[in-house]
Structure 1
Amino acid sequence: MRVITLLLNSILPGTILLSHAFKAHDFKTCSQSAFCRRGRALAQRASENASWSSPYHIDAETVSFSPSQSSLTARVTSFLYPEIHFQLQVDILKNGVVRVRMDEIGGLRKRYDEAASWALISEPALRDDDLNWVGFKKGKKGGVVKAAYGGVELAISYSPLKITLLRNGREEVVLNGRGLLHMEHFRNKPNQTDEGEERPSELEGEGGEGIEGTREQTVLKEPANGNAWFEGEEKDGYWEETFLSWTDSKPKGPESLSLDVDFPNHGHVYGIPQHAASLSLPSTIGANPHFSDPFRLYNGDVFEYDADSPVSLYGSIPLMHAHSAESTVGIFNALASETWIDILGSPTNTSIATHWISESGILDLFILPGPTPDDVFAQYASLTGTTPLPAHFAIAHHQCRWNYVSSDDVRTVSKRFDEDDMPVDVIWLDIEYSEEHKYFIWDEKTFPDPVEMANDVASVGRKMVVIIDPHLKRTSDYPVFAEAEAKKILVKKANGEDYEGWCWSGSSAWVDFFHPDSWEWWHKLFSLTGKTEGWRWAKSTDTIFIWNDMNEPSVFNGPEITMPKDSIHYGGWEHRDVHNINGMLYHNQTSQAVMRRGTELKRPFVLSRSFFAGSQRFGAIWTGDNLGTWEHMAVGIPMTLSNGIAGMTFAGADVGGFFGNPDVEMLVRWYQVGAFGPFFRAHAHIDTKRREPYLYNEPHKSMFRDILRLRYSLLPMWYTAFRETSVTGLPLLRPHYVVFPKDTRGFAIDDQYYVGSSGLLVKPVTSPGAETADVYLAEDEVYYDYFDRQVYRGAASGTTVTVPAPLSKIPLLRRGGSIISTRQRPRRASPLMKNDPFTLTIALDRSGTSAKGDLYLDDGETYAFEKGELAWRGFRISPEHNKKNSPLVLHSEDLVTLHKGNDVVDGVQIKSWDPRNAFAQSIARVYVERIAVLGLEKEPKSVNVVGGKGLEWTFSKGTGAKGKKTGVASALTIKAPGVLVVEDWQIRIEL
């Protein structure tokens, strides 16, 4: 959430209000982080030394393969420390992804190796067709071994160690090509001599099992040729590090991992959210770096973050796409510790070099070979999963504030939306609903009737969301804390005692969600049925959903506003090892708890601020504590696009900005931005003025109403788009490089985007006083203005068109060749739209004859769709036969039946699927009330249902889809066509 004012009299009796503001100096730069300094210094030495070469090499005697040869293992050594051994494993997976793992073997301690197990949906399967490695000969010490498969070639060089993915002889991804690989081995802390000089001590401990078994105790000696050229003269921050007033004890010593990952033939990289930066990531090193610091991945509670910065924010996904007109590739670097990433682009924008520096963990990197953006999304989704189909209400309009102050306030807000005919589905409560910030317990003074309040809100089709933060107030009269303490499932300090920090609750403890004993206990807290062992949240309903905030974790009195790195989690792992996963585990267990709280499994909605790779499986996220400024409005778009690229597609930014009081022009524009984001929530800080949309005067009140109604009319399109992303892993919001991967002019565009496969092109206005907007069209296709049917024509080489954008209008274009289904009846909340009729709008492509689209429907709340309780319709228009002036026929088809060639579609077993399933029957009478066809070249002679009656229609003359003319498009409007949504039918348009 945020830290502004901490009410200390809720912490220590008799104290006063404390203003607590986070600034940039609260967070480290690379120069203040010892392992980042060491990593950057290593790269600097390499760049200045023409003879630089990696010291790591494969011991040829140890190379072996799996039976199918899809997995190679070998011992790796470094001539810096010949006594230290590493095991390399390279797996070629079923979908062509390459997994590269390396870990120290026989070492003093174990490196953290569980990050991938939390991120992945399952252990990836190896490729099962036999591979042939060319160049391999047992004991051969030099050279390269190669394996070709699936259109690519994997090459592994022995000395120095280098791994390259090639396509058609062209290097796509290179690991350790610049020799920056460095896995700092475990060592004992040096003793002090009488003169105060350090000297190496003997290794202690049992060691670990590796290729050669246990390494015997020995004395580490400096290599004969010295290691200063590689590691540097100074042992910088090996055993202890101080930042401001905090000291990190570093009991395990240095264990950082450095690796260069280069994309020699790709000029743009994207991903590694979350940062307030452009979509195409700029250079951090080189002649003209945009940022002087590397991009950082270290989940943090960053107060009033800058709108252009490499500073890490609330989430961390170590996924990067590299793109060129020839191909798209990606890498997923499964590390959960603090990570810094330098980026260097070439002057000609044809290659990118990156350097990843992480504090701890093993090397566990996945190369995603592409070659298209869609392929990379599918490959990543096969590893970490997709965004599941959300509850339908979750994609509608949410209204939040810190804080609605009472149950009567909540009722009033709901009533005011109704009085001004503005739809909203969810009303949110921030931390002040709870007694002394003891989550799950209502403050009876202000919320005396929480169940009745929730039921009143639900009576008009709405839901509520309340916040449950991870910090537990340390007091014996708080049953949640008391039970967690008794179960010994709290995070520990380095000395083994329960960790104590400060947050909204005052003196606080944190549940260790890495501890398996915490999981079922946490689920039971949310139970709505029967008796459970221990305390449960009795004053709740199944229409109350959850918001997980502060789960980085945010600790007011901790280093960098978070938990000390030497805190201990289950299994003995330090917080430094698991920091970026922490919030995801909390999100995961809360999501499971909400799903299981009743007698029937229902789709949960849980919003999280912190996230990691795989968090998309558990719910939505938002971009945190933004400011009410034009700059923050603008940067929220590439931030949301970047999250989607990294799988976290159910995302959005706080509409209006969390801080500040935006003027009405800015707020109208921000609602336009929010209405075209996957997660659409208005939210504001406790010190801001009330800014609910019904509070404004005309004409702005009507502008807000129109925006909200536009979102609701398009909910069928959004839900259909969510279905697609739940299956394919494609993002909901698609930047130009995803839709047009060969159009170089669009690779850096991040201020306009397409929504799913709908054909909608959105260009939000994010600057004051604008009356027009320039929209880039990347193709030779016709586009239609969504509101007034104005025709715009693209070009094969790309062109920019100027679109009117007065304050009342967001630039929104329909791509030729698309069909969009909408519901046009105004309702107060989306559940009330279930039986409303549909309007189909057909935007003919530049041939003037073709278009297609689809519509997906289910009950919107249960998992019955997995058993086939759904309707999935396809709509297409095309010429009846291949002759001039052929009639056009609009088809409605059942898409599940059309996929009978597959065993499973969207989890539905095709062979047993019944198109007249219970859900389809429940909407059997839902009809199409209107059909509009844009871009016909001439007025039809007749319109009729094939095999049925002639239809009533009107025709507005205008510009056709063909040719070069612009102007207002022609429009055929078919009123009351008399066709049902769940049935097959055809409508013929005689020309």
Structure 2
Amino acid sequence: MWLPLALVLLAADALAVKRHDFKTCEQSGFCKRGRALAARAKAASSTWKSPYSVDASSVAISAQKSSFTASVVSSLYPEIKFELEVRAHDDGTFRVRMDEVDGLRKRYDETAKWALIREPTLSDAISWKQTKKEIKATNPKSGVEFRVQFAPLRIALSRNGKEEVVLNGNGLLHMEHFRLKDEPSPEQPPVENQEGEEQVVMEPPVKPNAWFEGDQPPQWEESFGGQTDTKPKGPESLSLDISFPGHGHLYGLPEHATRMDLPTTTGENAKYKDPYRLYNLDVFEYEADSEMALYGAVPLVHAHSTHSTVGVFNAIGSETWVDVDHPTSDSTETHWISESGIMDVFFLPGPTPDDVFMQYARLTGTPALPRHFALAYHQCRWNYISSTDVREVQARFDQDDIPFDVLWLDIAYAPNHKYFIWDEKTFPDPVDMFNDVAAFGRKMVVIIDPHLKKDTTYPVYKSASEKGLLVKPASGSGEYDGWCWPGSSAWVDYFNPASWDWWQGLFKIEGNNGDFHWRQSTTDVFIWNDMNEPSVFNGPEITMPKTNIHHGGWEHRDVHNINGMLFQNATAQAVMHRTDPPQRPFVLSRAFFPGSQRLGAIWTGDNLGTWEHMAIGIPMVLSNGIAGMTFSGADVGGFFGNPDPEMLTRWYQVGAFAPFFRAHAHIDTKRREPYLLDEPFKSIIRDVIRLRYSLLPVWYTAFRQASVSGIPVLRPQYTVFPHDPKGFSLDEQYYIGSSGLLVKPVTAPGIAETEIYLAEAQPYYNYFTAKIYRGKRSGTNVTVPATLYQVPLLIRGGSIIPTRERPRRSSALMARDPFTLRIALDASEQAEGELYLDDGNSYEYEKGHLVWRKFTASKVAKGPLKITSEDMAALQGGKNVVDGVDVVPFGSQAPNAFRDAVQGVRVENVLVYGLKSRPTKVSVGGAEIEWEFTEGAAAKSSSEGTATILRIRDPAVKIVNDWSIEVAF
């Protein structure tokens, strides 16, 4: 039955954020038990000791000497055995796993299978050395020492004799073993420590009043919000503490609406009272300052100090709470409490931020190199209601000369929310509509959610049901029935391998094998995966019951945070393989998990059109990038509300400097497409969108760098200047890739100027006016203009910025446009930059079909300034690094269809900022060319004002060639 719009809106309104719809730690039995353990340990202070220890006689070092296993016992339950495994990898990382041995049931141990891109290669450079008390190894390449103390179990990573990461240093490790519900709880007497003093030990968690004076937290059954989790396997939580001595700043743990430098959740003067929760949830109208769980979960942290950066990746897919504390100003302690799973922790030794990024990327994969159009401007709202509406929106953008690349369709296109099916009344000609949009080089994105309407006349549901591909209820038989947009719904189980080929078949455009597939589509259509936490309107905490059963018999509680990533993965594979050869997909996902960066983009969900949400979106995007999810952004304008013109204009300035740039709005909001605004707001927004388009070469090059290294596209201050403590908590300004562009968007009303922090004694140039701002070695704040029509955007001295300045309707129409090079000289009159280009669609770049240039400006003493372009392939020894690991030989002599296709693309302008003196001649290959010079301040001096500008017009050089421009004085 068709769900009336009023009921849809009622359902949506029911999801408006109310804290009582979502658990606190106190309302979560396993979190409450974990926090009680921490409180008891803290109260016992120096007498507290972990009950877990390694049986030294059980240590078995592998033949390769790069790993070992050992038995672990707990004084609480001597009859329960655990196995510890430690591996050293060739990139310097370490992995620690611990699981029950011959337990009553098997714990979920497959999280890493979904997160890792491959099993890490073991090191052949280290060997373990065992004594009676410990086993340790030192990596001769990095000097990092990894030590496992036997009794009590304590694991530490050290550098130069100083511990930097410690696991179980506070004795909070506790793995609740599987047991029978009526299993008796042993009495455990106190034991003595080595000094003869009474040693406090952790009492059995099932013993009455062991941790509490009052009632025990529920272990075998738990109710919340009128629903009951029967917990048929009983308690199985995992608690562990990880400390970072000497590191006072912690980043990561997305997704949370909070500062990049994570505030404390416990200890003295804690910012939040609850731990950070990692549990993918549909949180409608989330708060702009909160520790509450949101749509994604990445259990990764970076700890930073002036001397090093280290990281920890905890490969756990179940609900997890993380407490953060700073017992001293230069140390950090974390406590991780997970509902189920095994210990599977990766130590990332750094020592630089970039090293940690690359170490994590080698584990879970680098971000995918996106389609070029995906970096341009996207126009979306709930809902464009018809094909006529779509055509009118496109026409209005063109009428007002505002570029865009992608037009989005929300759920209204599908009758009764039957995805893949078109409403024949409102969208009678979908293929013609797609082709009309594509005629201007544009694409469309269509939403496909994970829930399927339970209706046997709906071929997608009917097929999935007949093939047994749907998630099961707790009984393990039949199909789980929940409520979402279509009403009664079922969910495909993407943990079932059979679902992947079936899902891929749905996206086939051509052919007819008797099965349903999406014939009314084209290869210019891409996909939006929403609601994939999964969102279930009548489920506990608006998601799926934890007792539901997935492929292999695993409960949903074990895999909840992984679920959304698998949906996006299946969709990305389907979009990729609808053509032969495959093309790069574009799939936007709301839920995410480690490894999601390999698949596509994410966004920060259902934000509000408020200044607070505009501001918090920036650190949220930075935090996503720190955790690998660099292709992200916040809905421009806010999903809810009706921002006034000033706010909307500032939203566009924020969005234009985010990796994912999309305007989106709720169905109840007023239409706010930029062409509807009065002047001057319409023109200001047009200009900032055009600015985004002119900078697409910078963005694409930054994404190429991220796809190779894992270093995020948006680089926070601490990653660029890791030894400057003044920048460690800055999350309002950031750099775009290695380009040298420094931006600080305005996120408050009535602003006419703002301060930007400069961390070095170098000149920075206003992107629009070439005014010089001079940094200091000790760091300084400079005041820059920031009225409504001014974006605070600086070019770091020593940078070369390649742009395309011709206004076009879409990025596809810019493919053969000429380039402008902005050369911002540093104090030594040097500069460099990169440009990466390929066809923007295929995987041919992996075969070397690309253009990759390095630009250099160099001046020595009283000699000329030489501006050169070189082939980065040649500079890299003829290697094209792909996926951060593999290499494909290529170079100037190798076949390169893309280079041939853009052979005629030229450089039409070169702008040089900051020369000390007026040139006498500018030449290419000995032939003098046209130029003009404007007097001003030099990069090398201390004077203020606008920089000198040398403009070289049409130097007759091609973007694909090696060349040199000589500026004589």
Q: 1:181 aligned to 2:173? A: yes
1:131 is aligned, of 109, 127, 131, to 127
**8 A contact 2:126–2:137 mirrored in 1:** no
After superposition, where does 1:828-867 map in structure 2 within 5 Å? 828-847=809-828, 849-867=829-847
CA contact (8 A) 1:68 1:130 kept: no
Q: How does 1:811-826 map to 2 (within 5 A)?
A: 811-826=792-807
Residues 894-973 of structure 1: pairs in structure 2 closer than 5 A: 894-900=871-877, 904=881, 909-910=888-889, 914=893, 917-945=896-924, 947-973=925-951
TM-superposed CA distance for 1:963, in Å, is: 2.0
C-alpha distance in structure 2 between counterparts of 1:146 and 1:838, whole Å: 53
Q: Is 2:12 aligned against 1:33? A: no
Q: Distance in 1 between matches of 2:912 and 2:374?
A: 31
Query: How far 1:17 sits from its partner (Å)?
Result: 8.1
1:68 alignment counterpart: 64
Pairing of 1:742-757 with structure 2 (within 5 A): 742-757=723-738
Q: Which amino acid counterpart does residue 14 of structure 2 have in structure 1?
A: H
Asked if the contact 1:937–1:961 (Cα under 8 Å) also holds between the matched residues in 2, the reply is yes
Alignment of 1:199-210 (within 5 A): 200=184
Deviations 1:482-504 (Å, cap 9, x if unpaired)? 00000001000001221000000
Q: 1:455-480: per-residue Cα shift (whole Å, max 9, x none)?
A: 00000111000000000000000000
In structure 1, the residue matched to 2:160 is 168
Cα pair distance change 1:684/1:885, threshold 3 Å: same
- 1:223: which partner in 2? 188
Deviations along 1:137-192, whole A, 9 cap, x unmatched? 4xx3x3554444421111110000000000001110000000000000000011xx
Amino acid at match of 1:755: I
Shift of 1:901: 6.4
> What SS does the aligned partner of 2:440 have?
coil
Distance in 2, matches of 1:521 and 1:25, equals 39
Residues in 2 aligned to 1:659 and 1:740: alpha-carbon distance in whole angstroms: 37
Change (3 A) 1:957 1:449: same
- Give the equivalent residue in structure 2 for 1:196: none
Whether the 8 Å contact between 2:879 and 2:891 is mirrored in structure 1 is: no
For 1:44, the aligned partner's letter is: A
Structure 1 position 343, deviation (Å): 0.5
Opposite residue 461 of structure 1, the aligned amino acid is G
The answer to whether 1:268 aligns with 2:254 is no
C-alpha distance in 2, partners of 1:914/1:764? Answer: 44
> What secondary structure, in the 3-state scheme, does the structure 2 residue paired with 1:631 have?
helix
Matched, 1:555 2:536: yes
Aligned equivalents of 1:662, 1:818: Cα separation in 2: 36
Q: Is 2:539 the partner of 1:543?
A: no
Among 640, 658, 662, which residue is 2:621 paired with? Answer: 640
2:360 corresponds to 1:380 = yes
Rate the CA distance shift 1:619–1:786 in 2: closer, same or farther, 3 A.
same
Q: Could you give the per-residue CA deviations for residues 711-753 of structure 1, whole angstroms, max 9, x where no partner exists?
A: 0000011111110000010000000110000000000000000
CA displacement, residues 813-862 of structure 1 (integer Å, 9 cap, x when unaligned): 00000001000000000000011000001000011x21000111111101
Q: Distance in 1 between matches of 2:810 and 2:439?
A: 11
Are residues 1:94 and 2:74 paired?
no
1:492 aligns with 2:480: no
- Please tell me whether the aligned partners of residues 183 and 256 of structure 1 are also in contact (alpha carbons under 8 angstroms): yes
1:206 alignment counterpart: none
Tell me if the contact between 1:943 and 1:952 (Cα under 8 Å) persists in the aligned partners: yes
Q: Are the counterparts in 2 of residues 42 and 230 from structure 1 also a CA contact under 8 Å?
A: no
SS at match of 1:442: coil
Letter in 1 for 2:873: V
> Residue 831 of structure 1: SS of its match in structure 2?
helix
Selected match of 2:865 from 858, 877, 888: 888
SS in 1 for 2:652: helix
CA drift of 1:529 comes to 2.3
Q: How does 1:704-715 map to 2 (within 5 A)?
A: 704-715=685-696
Deviation at 1:600, TM superposition (A): 2.6
- The answer to whether the Cα contact below 8 Å between 1:490 and 1:498 also exists between their aligned partners in 2 is yes
User: 1:525 and 2:535 equivalent?
Assistant: no
Q: Residues 92 and 139 of structure 2 are in contact (CA less than 8 Å); yes or no, is this contact kept in structure 1?
A: no
Q: Distance in 2 between matches of 1:869 and 1:285?
A: 53
Which runs of 5 or more structure 1 residues have no equivalent in the other structure?
Answer: 1-5, 191-198, 201-219
Give the conservation status (yes or no) of the 8 Å contact 1:74–1:89. yes
Q: CA deviation at 1:532?
A: 3.6
3-state SS of paired residue (2:158): strand
Aligned residues of 1:770 and 1:805 also touching (Cα < 8 A): yes
User: What does the per-residue CA deviation read over 1:644-676, in whole Å, with 9 as the maximum and x for residues that have no partner?
Assistant: 000000000000000000000001101000000
Is 2:438 aligned against 1:438?
no
8 A contact 1:896–1:905 mirrored in 2:
no
Q: 1:550 and 1:903, CA in 2 relative to 1: closer, same or farther beyond 3 A?
A: closer
**Could you tell me whether the CA contact under 8 Å between 1:868 and 1:914 is conserved in 2?**
no
Distance 1:311 1:904, change over 3 A: closer
Matched residues in 1 for 2:314 and 2:880: separation?
33
Q: Is the 8 A contact 1:7 1:18 kept in 2?
A: no
Is the 8 Å Cα contact of residues 156 and 165 (structure 2) preserved in structure 1? Answer: yes
Structure 2 segments unaligned to the other structure (5+ residues): 192-200
Q: What is the rounded CA distance, in whole Å, between the counterparts of 2:713 and 2:944 in structure 1?
A: 30
Is the counterpart of residue 980 in structure 1 residue 958 in structure 2?
yes
Q: Does 1:20 align with 2:14?
A: yes
Query: In 1, distance between residues paired with 2:170 and 2:139?
Result: 24
Q: Which amino acid aligns with 1:667?
A: L
Whole-Å separation in 2 of the counterparts to 1:954 and 1:145 = 66
Displacement after TM superposition at 1:897 (Å): 1.5
Q: Secondary structure at the match of 2:419?
A: strand
Instruction: State the Cα deviation string for residues 760-789 of structure 1 (Å, max 9, x = none).
Output: 000000000000010000111110000011
Given the superposition, is the C-alpha separation of residues 926 and 901 from structure 1 closer, same or farther in structure 2, using an over 3 Å criterion?
A: closer
Q: For 1:927, give the aligned amino acid.
A: R
For 1:211, the equivalent position in structure 2 comes to none
CA contact (8 A) 1:899 1:905 kept: no
In the aligned structure 2, how far is the partner of 1:8 from the partner of 1:547? 22
CA contact (8 A) 1:8 1:17 kept: no
Q: Quick one: structure 1 residues 917 and 863, their matched pair in 2 at CA, closer, same or farther if it must change by over 3 Å?
A: same
**Aligned partner of 2:877: which letter?**
K
Identity %: 61
Check if 1:764 corresponds to 2:752: no
Aligned to 1:216: none
Secondary structure at 1:531 match in 2: coil
In 2 relative to 1, CA 913–954 (structure 1 residues): closer, same or farther, beyond 3 Å?
closer
Per-residue CA distance 1:663-695 (angstroms, 9 max, x = gap): 000011010000000000000000000000000
Post-superposition Cα deviations, 1:611-630, rounded to whole Å, max 9, x if no partner, equal 00000000000000000000
Rounded Cα–Cα distance in structure 1 between residues aligned with 2:658 and 2:5: 38
Structure 1 match to 2:195: none
TM, length-normalised to structure 1: 0.94
Task: Tell me if the contact between 1:179 and 1:260 (Cα under 8 Å) persists in the aligned partners.
Answer: yes
Tell me the distance in 2 between the aligned counterparts of 1:862 and 1:529.
20
* 2:404 maps to which of 421, 424, 443: 424
Contact 2:263/2:272, CA 8 A, preserved across alignment: yes
- Please say if 1:688 is aligned against 2:675: no
Deviation at 1:76, TM superposition (A): 0.1
Q: Cα distance 1:903–1:827, how it changes in 2: closer, same or farther (>3 A)? A: closer
Amino acid at match of 1:158: F
**Cα distance in structure 2, aligned partners of 1:36 and 1:620:** 31
How many Å separate the matches in 1 of 2:713 and 2:136? 40
Partner of 2:386: 406
Give the structure 2 partner of residue 669 of structure 1: 650
| Correspondence 1:309-328 to 2 at 5 A | 309-328=290-309
| Total equivalences in the alignment | 947
Q: Give 1:596-607 correspondences, 5 Å limit.
A: 596-607=577-588
- What's the Cα RMSD here? 1.7
CA gap of 1:12–1:647, structure 2 versus 1, over 3 A, is closer
Q: Quick one: distance in 1 between partners of 2:10 and 2:54? A: 63
